[in-house]
């Protein structure tokens, strides 16, 4: 679990003027990220999004956090995402409908340390420039591009304030 900060005023515009859990959920599902039992909750001040769900691996977890955080109006993402398959439903327990209920119903799982770096794009940055800074090789830009699909559609389409996932050097 962790709290990740983003630039609230920039990013993908989802829905209307206000950030809402339904619009964010639809956006995440449209990206095709493999998330089970996704639950999103938006704070009253419209700045913080709590996210809960089950993902197959750390890379998908990081992409999910970035997909939500890089939406216009989102300033913080509070991560309650679990790695691994969703447990089978029990007939005796009610199905959680809020992030708080889902987190409370879950056993405590040790946190997996992130292996990627989150990098905030600055004015004048390109994926090649970032690859040179992070890996020492500008030609390694494709590793960053691939690590941020499906949020990135083209390697030249990044913007200042956007947060990118930089996978470990292979």
Print the SS3 string covering 9-20: CCCECCCCCCCC
Q: Which residues pair with 114 in a beta bridge?
A: none
Could you please state the CATH topology (level 3) that the domain comprising 1-111 is classified under.
3.30.1340
Domains 1-111 and 116-170 are alike in CATH topology: no
CB 35 within 8 Å of CB 57: no
| 86 DSSP assignment | P
**SS3 for 72?**
coil
Q: pLDDT digit of tens for each residue in the chain (170 aa)?
A: 688 999 888 888 887 778 889 999 999 999 999 999 999 999 988 889 999 999 999 999 999 999 999 999 999 999 999 999 888 765 555 667 777 777 666 665 566 555 789 999 999 999 999 999 999 999 999 999 999 999 999 999 999 999 999 998 87
Q: What span, in angstroms and rounded, lies between the C-alpha atoms of 34 and 31?
A: 9
pLDDT of residue 95: 64
In the chain, domain spans: 1-111, 116-170
pLDDT of residue 111: 60
pTM passes above 0.85: no
Could you please state the CATH topology (level 3) that the domain comprising 116-170 is classified under.
Membrane-bound Lytic Murein Transglycosylase D; Chain A (3.10.350)
Q: What span, in angstroms and rounded, lies between the C-alpha atoms of 20 and 41?
A: 8
41 φ, ψ (degrees, to nearest 5)? -135, 130
**SS3 for 37?**
strand
Q: What span, in angstroms and rounded, lies between the C-alpha atoms of 101 and 95?
A: 9
């Amino acid at each position: 679990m962790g709290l990740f900060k983003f630039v609230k005023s920039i990013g993908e515009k989802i829905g209307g003027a206000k950030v809402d859990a339904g619009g964010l959920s639809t956006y995440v599902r449209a990206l095709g990220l493999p998330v089970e039992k996704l639950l999103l909750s938006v704070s009253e001040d419209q700045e913080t999004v709590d996210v809960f769900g089950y993902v197959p691996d750390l890379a998908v977890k990081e992409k999910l956090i970035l997909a939500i955080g890089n939406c216009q109006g989102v300033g913080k993402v509070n991560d309650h995402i679990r790695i691994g398959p969703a447990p089978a439903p029990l007939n005796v327990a009610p199905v959680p409908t809020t992030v708080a209920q889902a987190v409370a119903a879950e056993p405590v799982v040790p946190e997996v340390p992130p292996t990627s770096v989150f990098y905030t794009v600055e004015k004048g940055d390109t994926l090649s420039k970032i690859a040179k800074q992070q890996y020492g090789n500008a030609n390694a830009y494709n590793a960053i591009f691939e690590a941020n699909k499906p949020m990135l559609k083209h390697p030249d389409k990044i913007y200042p304030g956007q947060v990118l996932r930089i996978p470990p050097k292979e």
